[in-house]
Amino acid sequence: MLIYLVRHAQSEANAGVTGAPIDCELTPLGRRQAEATGEWLVRADLDLILSSPYIRALETASAIHRATGAPLEAYPPIHEHHIEPFPVAWPLLGRAALTARFPNLSVPDDFVDAGWHHPPESDAVTLARMGRALDLLWRRFASDPERDSRRVCLVSHGSPTGKAIMAFQGITTIAADIRIENASISLLQDVPGKRIVWGTNWVDHLPERTC
């Protein structure tokens, strides 16, 4: 299985927009980055796109969906990493709002409208969560006879994407972090008896880069 890890494109929070909410949108630059990422991933012949249910990730994933035609599904385990508690009770969209805003999005039957994660989270907890997210992916495709040739895109956030790369390599203790830029692509391959990191934080497909 090939796994394309994509960090969402530039968001309002990344750009320092005053008053940007926790569940913020992409900037105009971010939308251009998302489109460029989708165009690059056409060559990947994706089977599935799994996205964090945050708006900025779903806007990026939707651009990839439009370019590639691959099915798009919300995947809560790869949500953002927050080191502080939410300042409000629940700042994220529920099922009805998600499907209204993203009509091509499939939402899992067990998705609940609120409370599916509870910040704050430490780096270690996020690393373990991303390991579980990958394990769920392996189990999902375990009985698929075409598993080894499947190509899946995960659209997440900077810290979770870096920690997914660590978890994929079997790293359980964080000694250093992995830099992940907006709209970057990292490529992992899982084959019987071997895991390969082909590259991380590729940004050559972007016409305009930001951190």
Terminal-to-terminal C-alpha distance of the chain: 29
pLDDT at 209: 65
- Residue 205 in any domain: the answer is no
The CATH number that applies at residue 103 is 3.40.50.1240
Q: Give Dmax (Cα) for the chain.
A: 50
24 close to 11: Cβ distance less than 8 angstroms:
yes
- Residue 206 in any domain: the answer is no
What's the pLDDT tens digit per position in 172-197? 998 888 999 999 999 999 988 899 99
Banded pLDDT at 14 (limits 50, 70, 90) = very high
141 close to 106: Cβ distance less than 8 angstroms:
no
- Residue 197 in any domain: the answer is no
Query: For the chain, give me the number of helices (H) and strands (E)?
Result: 5, 7
Owning domain of residue 55: 2-187
| Amino acid at site 152 | V
Q: Which residue in this structure is represented by tokens 């992992």?
A: 188
pLDDT at 192: 86
- What lies within 8 Å, CB to CB, of 108 at 6+ separation is 73, 74, 75, 76
pLDDT at 88: 86
What CA–CA distances, in Å, run from 127 to 12, 13, 161, 174, 177? 25, 23, 9, 8, 11
The dihedral formed by the CA atoms of 69, 73, 76 and 78, expressed in degrees to the nearest 10: -20
CA distance 10 to 47: 25
Structural domains in the chain (count): 1
What's the pLDDT tens digit per position in 34-90? 999 999 999 999 999 999 999 999 999 999 999 999 999 999 999 999 999 999 889
- Residue 72 in any domain: the answer is yes
- Residue 194 in any domain: the answer is no
- Residue 200 in any domain: the answer is no
What's the pLDDT tens digit per position in 118-128? 999 999 999 99
- Residue 198 in any domain: the answer is no
36: which 2 tokens?
Answer: 């460029």
pTM of this prediction?
0.97
Q: What is the DSSP string of 141-192?
A: TTT-TTGGG-EEEEEE-HHHHHHHHHHHTT--S-SS-----TT-EEEEEEET
- What lies within 8 Å, CB to CB, of 165 at 6+ separation is 5, 178, 186, 188, 197, 200
- Residue 199 in any domain: the answer is no
The β-bridge relationship of strands 185-191 and 194-202 is antiparallel
Residues in the chain: 211
